[in-house]
Amino acid sequence: MIITVTLNPALDKTASVDVMRANELNRLQNVRVDAGGKGVNVSSIIHALGGKSVAVGFAGGGAGDELRLLIANKSLHADLVRIAATTRTNLKVMDEHGLLTELNEPGPAVTKAEWQNMEEKLLSYAQAGNIIVLSGSLPSTAEHAGFALGKDTYQKLSKRLRKCGAAVFLDADGEAFKLALESGKDEVPNFIKPNRFELLQYFGLPDDESVNEAKLIELCQIMLAKGVELVALSMGGDGAIFVNKNGAWKSAALPINVQSTVGAGDSMTGALVYGFEQGLKETDCFALAMAASAGACTTKGTNPPSKALIDELLTKTMIEKIG
C-alpha cells in the first residue's frame, strides 16, 4: 500500500485578472478551487496510472470539509486527521500577460493532541510492504500551548516508520531535509527526490560550471553512503539522474508543450512509488517517472496527465546508464 502524507495541505484557489493593480480593487474571473498539497498531487498521479493510495493529512474548518470533498471528487481515498483550526487557502492570480501573483497563507496551527492523532495514524500504516511518502512543508504549531514541531519532524517520522518496517520516500527541502539525512543508515529515508537546487543547497554548493554530471553523481553517492537506497535527482527541463547501489542513469526531459511545471516533481515521486509497488524493474520505474512528470507539465496547474499520454511519452523515453 502507498500512503501519501500532506502535513500542511491547502485549498488552491486560482483566478485570473486582466491587469493586476496594487492598492486598487481587482475583480477576479475564472475562479476555481482545487485540493492542494504535494501528497495530494502524488496520490493524483498514482490514481492516473491506475494505482491506489491513501492520502493522509490534516483538515479543519469549512475549508477542511471542502478539501475532503475535493479529494473525494478526484476519486482519491483520503484518511484525514480533523483539526480545530481552519485549513489554509492559497490564492494564485494570473494576469493577461501570464504573470502569476501568489498569496499563500502559513497554514493552521496543530495542537499536541492533533499531532499525536497524526502520529498514531501514520504508525498504524507503518508495516513491511507499505511505502509512506512524506512531502512538503511542516505545519505550524500552537506554540502558545507549549507545543512545537521542530525541523527534525521528518527525521523523527522516518526513524519511527522505518523501525516498524515501512519504506519512506521523502521530498522536502532546507533544514527538514538536511536533518532527515542525519540519522542511522537504517533510519534515513529509503528514497529521496531532491531537485538540483535542493541537492546543491544541502551541500552548501553554488550552482556554477564546476557542477557537472560527474559531480552530481558524486553528490548522490554521498547520499547513498548515508543509507539512502535511491536518489532521484530532478533537473526540470534538463531531465533527471537516478543513482542507486547498482549505478547511475540519466534521461533527457521529454519534448512537450509546457503548460505548467508546478507539481512536476510530485508526479515523478508518484510514478516512482507506483513503479516500486508494481515490482517494475528499476529502469522501467525511471522511465515511468520521466513520462509521468513530463505529462504533468502538459496540463494546467497540478492536474495529472491521462494514462494514454503517459503511455505515449513512455515510448519516447530513453534511460541511459552513465555510471
CB of residue 319 to Mg ion, shortest distance in Å: 21
CB of residue 234 to Mg ion, shortest distance in Å: 7
Distances (CA, A) of 218 to 45, 142, 177, 200, 203: 30, 41, 19, 12, 12
Residue nearest to ligand ATP (CB): 265
Task: Choose the binding region for ligand ATP from 70-78, 113-121, 274-282, 286-294 (rule: CB under 6 A).
Answer: 286-294
Contact between residue 249 and residue 286 where contact means Cβ atoms under 8 Å apart = yes
Side chain identity at residue 225, one-letter code: A
| Contact between 273 and ligand ATP per CB under 6 A | no
| Contact residues for Mg ion, defined by CB under 5 A | 265
H/E run at residue 94: strand 88-94
CB of residue 43 to ligand ATP, shortest distance in Å: 14
Residues 135 and 143: their CA atoms lie apart, in Å, by 23
Q: 205: which residues sit within 8 A by CB, 6+ positions away? A: 211, 219
**Given the residues 173, 208, 266, 311, the one annotated as active site:** 266
Q: Which residue has the cell 515511468?
A: 288
- Whether 266 is catalytic: yes
Task: Choose the binding region for ligand ATP from 95-103, 180-188, 293-301, 313-321 (rule: CB under 6 A).
Answer: 293-301
- Residues 206-245: x/- map of binding to ligand ATP (CB under 6 A)? ----------------------------xxxx-xx-----
Q: How many CB atoms lie within 10 A of CB 12?
A: 23
Among 80, 290, 310, 313, binds ligand ATP (CB under 6 A): 290
Q: Which does 264 bind (CB under 5 to 8 A by kind): ligand ATP, Mg ion, none?
A: ligand ATP
The CA-based angle 311-313-318, given to 5 degrees, is 115
H/E run at residue 46: helix 38-48
DSSP-derived secondary structure letter, 139:
P
CB of residue 315 to ligand ATP, shortest distance in Å: 16
Residues 178 and 291: their CA atoms lie apart, in Å, by 29
Among 55, 294, 309, 310, binds ligand ATP (CB under 6 A): 294
Furthest-apart CA pair in the chain: how many Å?
A: 58
CB of residue 285 to ligand ATP, shortest distance in Å: 13
Residues at the site binding ligand ATP, with contacts judged by CB under 6 A = 195, 234-237, 239-240, 253-254, 256, 258, 261-266, 268, 290, 293-294, 297
